[in-house]
């Protein structure tokens, strides 16, 4: 019998045995700190009470942030086990000559404070690329973070990883495996330089489900492909993209070691968490006023459906038209046309939809009459669906994105200052 | 001895035997024309006094405008000879059920008026995709255009092909082959939906040089690769991209039939015209305030250099940073890092330059100290050069683009209205 997936509060702390903490330590203002001022958290720590099987996916960008290199090396040394993760925002610690040294130092500080083997501590950073990371604020923060670790402080962590994000992103679910309640929780950061490619933005997922390291990695890879990798805010694949998935087994279910029904249940719950976080990331894209959800139906295979759907949500012109609430479907067809995939453009149909209704704007690769008034009403929603029908097969896929706005230009015209 | 290439006035009419005309016929306002109002030209015609060998390159978009299909078919029927080209703006005549019929009608109207075989008339259209083209304004215009054809009316034609362009784009040169003066002239339109891929935006090049059809096509393909195909305004490959190159041989040089020195002279002059038009297109990109010229040096091959340089000028984040005059070189390195090409990122150096000076911002894949004040001064220019050094070989290539501005969003938020 299929388990019911239930939404939970608690983010990454929803699973058993996961503690978190977060604080402001002044990474950006380190040379001129102002402890009296109110600041957003910029550093966080989270831990598993026992070493957790940990799967990871990293950016495909050739420029890889130093934290990624250190996290990867540590997971190799520990045989895929992790107990703690430290994450800072405001500085990516990437393209710095001393980046690896500083990232290792962050792990060492946590390891010492929590009496853990260094290789069981992972590290991630997000923020400006190519700025030397000041280590002093981290040195001051780690003992405080360690002392305040708690099973309820998921929000302190989720706010600490935010950069230009306007809202924190966390989600958690509960489901059953073999009569045992399991939980998966996650947090993610956006909201620019997002075009994950076999990788993702910073995303941290925890679970108390008992599952082998090998299957954990397989499940993560499969779900990344149809969630984070189908997301684009601005077409820029970041240097620091990383998703970590930690499974500590504290739910007490029999270990999942093969691709049986339990594995499928786990994957479905994982999709629920990662899919929801993906949608949250798209909706909070830099400067975004509208979430764009593009689904390609009737493709002969999933990869093709992904390619076509992504091509549309990545089109700068289409994104600008959505901001202007202009049903310029020619731009949709243009973006479908340059997607690197084989199909018959003369069979393609396109619908635009929202909670206010649906209009068909194109059939057999050519325009059809539609009411511009109805289209304008549909496009006034803050969540627009674009349905593309290839009419050649049975597979489908969804890609998520957002509109291109004045605020995107404003935010990115002076991000460093 | 190498011929000297001299800049000429006259655009497409600079070569011998090329007449042009242009006018306003009300393609957009056809249902409600206002002949009294002042309007930009929206239709033009140009002819060669004798049938010209004609080479063409078309968009790789699967959605192909009806005018492209008709032009391609006519050139096949005529054995690569053309005598006249008719072009309209304000309507792309693409994704319409009756598109081919209308494009053929445009050729037939011109053929009848000028007593030409229909297959020697070519057609191009640019404007909104998916809007039925009204043929009546064209019917009214063709006799007028035919009557007013003249060897000096290049500007009337160059303004007629403009859409969101803020300036007309034309350029011409004179050079010598075997003691005979030859000329090449061209006109182009921008300025959005520009990311040519084995093709280009609407570009029309004329020459009186005597050269075989086969070599004309080869020269065009080679030069498109390093000019128009290295240009990106917004990453969107249009459905109507086309470049036509007509050579009528009226300069009287001995026909170029092999890849000898004369052929190389011709190619160099062609590069001069197409390269200059490319730069004009980039500079007048929709909403652009700055021209971005990115050159990748020290690559092991030209294709790699093109890939890396294009990746940078296409990066939305980098384009926004240039608008903000922010020396955020991390975004340059990030875009280099996700370029689909193999090289050692740890050898990469980056410089930012303009008429106000040069600063090195990155060496060996990591940041170096530089004066932010100097960088700010350099970036205040309206033409920014980004020099990337791969330090692995001897080849180089340049890509052209523009910054991402509020005006780009404004222009494209309501393009149709």
Please give the structure tokens belonging to residue A159.
């706010």
Nearest chain A CA: its distance from B304 CA (Å): 15
User: How confident is the model at residue A120, as a pLDDT?
Assistant: 97
Nearest chain A CA: its distance from B328 CA (Å): 7
Query: Are the beta carbons of B366 and A96 separated by less than 8 Å?
Result: yes
User: How confident is the model at residue B199, as a pLDDT?
Assistant: 46
| Distance from C-alpha of A128 to C-alpha of A92, rounded to nearest angstrom | 5
Integer angstrom CA distances of residue B356 from A5, A230, A304, B293: 61, 42, 48, 15
CB contact burial A256-270 (16+ within 10 A = b; e otherwise): beeeeebbebbbebb
Q: Do A154 and A14 form a contact (C-beta atoms < 8 A)? A: yes
Please give the structure tokens belonging to residue B33.
């024309």
Of A61, A314, A413, the CB nearest to B334: A61
Query: What are φ and ψ of residue B413, in 5° steps?
Result: -75, -25
Nearest chain A CA: its distance from B28 CA (Å): 16
**Residue labelled with tokens 């610690």:** A93
| Distance from C-alpha of B104 to C-alpha of B133, rounded to nearest angstrom | 12
Of A64, A334, A362, the CB nearest to B61: A334
Chain B interface includes A307 (CB < 8 A): no
**Residue labelled with tokens 């090396």:** A73
Please give the structure tokens belonging to residue A116.
């853990």
Of A236, A334, A414, the CB nearest to B335: A236
Q: Do B127 and B238 form a contact (C-beta atoms < 8 A)? A: no
**Residue numbers in A near B368 (CB within 8 A):** none
A76-103, pLDDT tens digit by residue?
A: 999 999 999 999 999 999 988 899 999 9
Q: Do B173 and B213 form a contact (C-beta atoms < 8 A)? A: no
Of B236, B405, B417, the CB nearest to A334: B236
Query: Are the beta carbons of A63 and B365 separated by less than 8 Å?
Result: yes
**Residue numbers in A near B316 (CB within 8 A):** 234-236, 316, 412
| Distance from C-alpha of B113 to C-alpha of B125, rounded to nearest angstrom | 20
Confidence of residue A33 (pLDDT cuts 50, 70, 90): low
The DSSP secondary structure of A219-273, one letter per residue, reads HHHHHHHHTGGGB-SSS---SS-EEEEEE--TT-PPPB-SSSHHHHHHHHHHHHH
User: How confident is the model at residue A211, as a pLDDT?
Assistant: 97
Report the percentage of chain A scoring pLDDT > 70: 95
In terms of phi and psi (left: phi > 0; alpha: psi -120 to 50; beta: otherwise), the region of A125 is beta
User: How confident is the model at residue B1, as a pLDDT?
Assistant: 46
Strand partners, A44: A22, A87
3-state secondary structure of B250: coil
Nearest CA in chain A to B318: A412
What do you get for the CA distance between the two ends of chain A, in Å?
Answer: 55
User: How confident is the model at residue A417, as a pLDDT?
Assistant: 52
Q: Running DSSP on this structure, what letter comes out for residue A117?
A: -
Query: Are the beta carbons of B130 and A192 separated by less than 8 Å?
Result: no
Please give the structure tokens belonging to residue B197.
């891929």
Residues 24-43 of A with CB under 8 A from B: none
Q: Is the pLDDT of residue A49 over 90?
A: yes
Strand partners, A176: A181
| Distance from C-alpha of B160 to C-alpha of B171, rounded to nearest angstrom | 16
Omega before A94 within 30 of 0, i.e. cis: no
Mean pLDDT rounded to a whole number for chain A: 91
Chain A interface includes B405 (CB < 8 A): yes
User: How confident is the model at residue A18, as a pLDDT?
Assistant: 96
Chain A interface includes B308 (CB < 8 A): no
Q: Do B43 and B23 form a contact (C-beta atoms < 8 A)? A: yes
Query: Are the beta carbons of A409 and B409 separated by less than 8 Å?
Result: yes
User: How confident is the model at residue A350, as a pLDDT?
Assistant: 96
The DSSP secondary structure of A358-401, one letter per residue, reads EEEEEETTEE----HHHHHHHHTSSEEEEEEE--S-SEEEEEEE
Nearest chain B CA: its distance from A201 CA (Å): 14
Query: Are the beta carbons of B330 and A367 separated by less than 8 Å?
Result: no
**Residue numbers in B near A334 (CB within 8 A):** 61, 63, 129, 193, 236-239
Residues of A involved in catalysis = 200
Pairing of strands A18-23, A43-58: antiparallel
User: How confident is the model at residue B348, as a pLDDT?
Assistant: 95
Q: Do B374 and B357 form a contact (C-beta atoms < 8 A)? A: yes
Pairing of strands B383-389, B366-367: unpaired
Residues 143-202 of B with CB under 8 A from A: 192-193, 197
Please give the structure tokens belonging to residue A306.
């992904």
Q: Running DSSP on this structure, what letter comes out for residue A10?
A: -
| Distance from C-alpha of B404 to C-alpha of B409, rounded to nearest angstrom | 8
Residues 344-373 of A with CB under 8 A from B: 345, 362, 365-367
| Distance from C-alpha of B11 to C-alpha of B385, rounded to nearest angstrom | 27
Residues 47-86 of A with CB under 8 A from B: 60-64
Q: Do A71 and A243 form a contact (C-beta atoms < 8 A)? A: no
Q: Is the pLDDT of residue A200 over 70?
A: no
Nearest CA in chain B to A335: B236
Omega before B191 within 30 of 0, i.e. cis: yes
User: How confident is the model at residue A213, as a pLDDT?
Assistant: 95
Q: Is the pLDDT of residue A237 over 90?
A: no
User: How confident is the model at residue B286, as a pLDDT?
Assistant: 87
3-state secondary structure of B179: coil
**Residue labelled with tokens 């999933």:** A302
| Distance from C-alpha of B306 to C-alpha of B396, rounded to nearest angstrom | 8
Which of B59, B200, B278, B405 is the catalytic position? Answer: B200
Containing A122, the helix (H) or strand (E) segment is: strand A121-125
In terms of phi and psi (left: phi > 0; alpha: psi -120 to 50; beta: otherwise), the region of A92 is alpha
Chain A interface includes B101 (CB < 8 A): no
Nearest CA in chain B to A327: B416
Q: Do A362 and A352 form a contact (C-beta atoms < 8 A)? A: no
Q: Is the pLDDT of residue A198 over 50?
A: no
**Residue numbers in B near A330 (CB within 8 A):** 92, 94-95, 128-131, 239
Residues 212-271 of A with CB under 8 A from B: 234-239
| Distance from C-alpha of B369 to C-alpha of B360, rounded to nearest angstrom | 8
3-state secondary structure of A191: coil
Please give the structure tokens belonging to residue B234.
């917004």
Query: Are the beta carbons of B326 and A417 separated by less than 8 Å?
Result: yes
Per-residue pLDDT tens, chain B, 417 aa: give them. Answer: 467 999 999 999 999 999 999 999 999 886 555 555 668 999 999 999 999 999 999 888 888 899 999 999 999 999 999 999 999 999 999 988 899 999 999 999 999 999 999 999 999 999 888 889 999 999 999 999 999 999 999 999 999 999 888 899 999 999 999 999 999 999 998 877 777 654 447 889 999 999 999 999 999 999 998 888 888 887 777 777 888 999 999 999 999 999 999 999 999 999 999 999 999 988 988 889 999 999 999 999 999 999 999 999 999 889 999 999 998 888 899 899 989 999 999 999 999 999 999 999 999 998 899 999 999 999 999 999 999 999 999 999 999 999 999 988 888 886 565
Q: Do B324 and B404 form a contact (C-beta atoms < 8 A)? A: no
C-alpha of A220 from chain center: 12
| Distance from C-alpha of A56 to C-alpha of A124, rounded to nearest angstrom | 12
What do you get for the CA distance between the two ends of chain B, in Å?
Answer: 55
Q: Is the pLDDT of residue A55 over 60?
A: yes
Nearest CA in chain A to B198: A338
Query: If we measure between CA atoms, which residue out of A47, A46, A48, A95 comes closest to residue A67?
Result: A95
Containing B305, the helix (H) or strand (E) segment is: helix B302-314
User: How confident is the model at residue B379, as a pLDDT?
Assistant: 95
| Distance from C-alpha of B57 to C-alpha of B77, rounded to nearest angstrom | 17
Higher pLDDT: A30 or A152? It is A152
A336-349, pLDDT tens digit by residue?
A: 998 999 999 999 99
Chain B interface includes A405 (CB < 8 A): yes
**Residue numbers in B near A362 (CB within 8 A):** 95, 130
Q: Give the CA radius of gyration of chain B.
A: 22
Nearest CA in chain A to B344: A62
| Distance from C-alpha of A208 to C-alpha of A269, rounded to nearest angstrom | 12
A307-343, pLDDT tens digit by residue?
A: 999 999 999 889 999 999 998 888 899 899 989 999 9
Q: Do A342 and A358 form a contact (C-beta atoms < 8 A)? A: no
């Amino acid at each position: 019998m299929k388990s019911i997936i239930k939404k939970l509060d608690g983010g990454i702390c929803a699973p058993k045995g996961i503690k978190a903490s977060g604080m402001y330590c002044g990474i950006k203002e380190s040379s001129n700190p102002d402890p009296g001022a109110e600041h957003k958290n910029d550093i966080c720590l989270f831990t598993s009470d026992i070493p957790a099987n940990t799967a990871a996916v990293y950016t495909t960008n050739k420029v890889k942030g130093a934290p990624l290199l250190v996290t990867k090396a540590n997971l190799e040394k520990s045989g895929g086990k992790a107990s703690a993760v430290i994450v800072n925002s405001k500085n990516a610690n990437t393209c710095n000559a001393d980046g690896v040294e500083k990232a290792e130092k962050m792990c060492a500080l946590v390891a010492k404070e929590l009496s853990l083997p260094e290789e069981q501590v992972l590290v991630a950073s997000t923020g400006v690329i190519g700025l030397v990371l000041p280590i002093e604020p981290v040195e001051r923060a780690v003992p405080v973070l360690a002392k305040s670790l708690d099973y309820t402080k998921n929000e302190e962590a989720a706010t600490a990883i935010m950069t230009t994000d306007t809202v924190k992103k966390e989600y958690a679910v509960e489901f059953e495996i073999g009569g045992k309640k399991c939980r998966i929780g996650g947090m993610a950061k956006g909201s620019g330089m997002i075009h994950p490619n076999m990788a993702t933005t910073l995303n941290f997922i925890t679970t108390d489900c008992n599952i082998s390291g090998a299957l954990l990695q397989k499940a993560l890879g499969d779900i990344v492909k149809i969630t984070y990798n189908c997301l684009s805010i601005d077409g820029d694949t970041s240097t620091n993209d990383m998703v970590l998935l930690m499974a500590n087994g504290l739910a007490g279910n029999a270990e999942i070691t093969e691709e049986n029904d339990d594995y499928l249940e786990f994957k479905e719950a994982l999709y629920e968490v990662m899919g929801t976080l993906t949608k949250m990331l798209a909706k909070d894209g830099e400067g975004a006023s509208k979430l764009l959800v593009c689904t390609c139906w009737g493709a002969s295979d999933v990869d093709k459906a992904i390619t076509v759907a992504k091509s549309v949500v990545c089109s700068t012109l289409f994104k600008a038209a959505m901001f202007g609430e202009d049903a310029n479907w020619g731009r949709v067809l243009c973006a479908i046309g340059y997607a690197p995939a084989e199909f018959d453009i003369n069979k393609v149909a396109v619908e635009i939809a929202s909670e206010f209704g649906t209009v068909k704007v194109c059939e057999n690769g050519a325009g059809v009459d539609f009411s511009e008034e109805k289209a304008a009403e549909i496009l006034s929603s803050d969540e627009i669906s674009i349905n593309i029908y290839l009419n050649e097969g049975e597979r489908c896929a969804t890609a998520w994105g957002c509109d291109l706005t004045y605020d995107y230009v404003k935010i990115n015209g002076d991000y460093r200052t």
